[in-house]
Structure 1
């Protein structure tokens, strides 16, 4: 790439070049999003430079137009995260839906993820690791000695940003907790979780009137989930 081309301004760039870069950016993002692993901005920049010789000062314009295409054609939108240090992107549905986007989750992983998120949601905040394993075991979702399943929770779902898995406290008070990740917050409607409560196989007696009221229901009763 020549110095002259790298110094192009947005006004100087040819429209066909910009369109080509946008198409390539959309293709790259959609392919990478299949893994649900956040996409580093640096990776987008490198790909555009390699495939389209896109100068760095035009990347923001290309990404903006790519986001518009994602919304218009696919019904998805690009969310930038970790803005200060190492910007990354995730893709989520542009409009609220009634379920979790499951394009890359098999049935067992989907059930595991929803159960974990539901437990955190109903607990009102982060859940200690031991409490999470106990809940998932009693719910029949994850066997007590299923270490492969635990790795999905602590590694896969955290890399995909559905969950966070962090150490809090010091010394004897230190513990590891699970909480909602940013992708779950962006992608999963809370109303969907409330509806999912009716499908939980574990018998739980609880009153969630205040929670339901917060999400739009007017008439509510106490529920006993079987």
Structure 2
């Protein structure tokens, strides 16, 4: 009897996994079924809708993205189309264009496609080069962002990629032990390797041919857009009471990145 129950549980678990995998595949394939409408298709679609209908759908898209952004989770185009745009998919390009304009004009944010293959969007601060306001990560407003800032600083100062052991050892020196539950962050290791990775602040990549298996960290796509390397260098200078220019390579990289960012910003304007 016990063996039959165990067998039944195994079969049930296996079936559940197959269903779950099938669902995930279906979700992943959802975007493959969506073809970006042509300009003429969009125009014909708009002729069948009232301006109020398009505005209402745009507002729903904006709200959906803002809710997702509270957890800093990238938004998939497939999810937008499936859960929000729905029957308005023929005018999707117009809706997303209006949503982008709303984010810029109303919220001072920029909707950016960070993954052109999987069509994933994030919101980043849309700040002019002349604006003195820092991004949420440059001046961390909460402890979790402060934790991220420390990790990004270590990665930048070490050339853009570091083995995970260096991160764990650095945090231990700051009395944040990844092996122990932290009263502020909870499971530190999970926050860093799961939450920050899903939010695209960090990349956590397995190093090939390592035994036991080792991983390394890099800046994620969102960090590249939101975080100023020059700000990080200033932070490190203050921390070590050292002129940021004494780190020659990092100083050159930071200010080169700042220059290209300003050029890109002025080109968009």
Which TM-score tier does this pair reach, normalised by the shorter chain?
0.7 to 0.9
CA distance in 1: counterparts of 2:57 and 2:155, whole angstroms: 41
2:163 to 128, 139, 143: 128
- Report the TM-score, using the length of structure 1 for normalisation: 0.79
Closer, same or farther: CA 204–170 of 1 in aligned 2, 3 Å = farther
1:90 is matched with which residue?
122
Matched, 1:108 2:143: yes
Q: Quote the RMSD (CA, aligned, Å).
A: 2.9
Closer, same or farther: CA 165–172 of 1 in aligned 2, 3 Å = same
SS in 2 for 1:178: strand
> How many Å apart are 1:131 and its aligned residue?
1.3
Deviations 1:85-111 (A, max 9, x none): x21110001125653416xx7732122
1:73 to 72, 91, 106: 106
Task: Work out whether residues 134 and 144 of structure 1, in 8 Å CA contact, stay in contact via their aligned partners in 2.
Answer: no
2:70 is matched with which residue?
34
SS in 1 for 2:45: coil
Q: Provide structure 1 residue ranges, at least 5 long, that are not aligned to the other structure.
A: 1-5, 218-226
CA distance in 2: counterparts of 1:49 and 1:170, whole angstroms: 45
2:45 is matched with which residue?
9
CA distance in 2: counterparts of 1:187 and 1:141, whole angstroms: 27
Matched, 1:210 2:249: yes
1:167 is matched with which residue?
206
Closer, same or farther: CA 160–79 of 1 in aligned 2, 3 Å = same
2:153 is matched with which residue?
118
CA distance in 2: counterparts of 1:57 and 1:208, whole angstroms: 52
Closer, same or farther: CA 82–145 of 1 in aligned 2, 3 Å = same
> How many Å apart are 1:203 and its aligned residue?
8.5
Deviations 1:56-77 (A, max 9, x none): 1211210111001100111001
Q: Which protein is richer in helix relative to its size?
A: 2
Q: Provide structure 2 residue ranges, at least 5 long, that are not aligned to the other structure.
A: 1-41, 182-186, 257-269
2:218 is matched with which residue?
179
Structure with more relative contact order (C-alpha pairs < 8 Å, separation 6 or more): 1
Matched, 1:25 2:61: yes
Task: Work out whether residues 125 and 179 of structure 1, in 8 Å CA contact, stay in contact via their aligned partners in 2.
Answer: yes
2:7 is matched with which residue?
none
Closer, same or farther: CA 92–48 of 1 in aligned 2, 3 Å = same
Deviations 1:145-175 (A, max 9, x none): 3351111111110111110111021254852
1:189 to 205, 215, 228: 228
Task: Work out whether residues 116 and 132 of structure 1, in 8 Å CA contact, stay in contact via their aligned partners in 2.
Answer: yes
Task: Work out whether residues 114 and 222 of structure 2, in 8 Å CA contact, stay in contact via their aligned partners in 1.
Answer: no
> How many Å apart are 1:186 and its aligned residue?
0.7
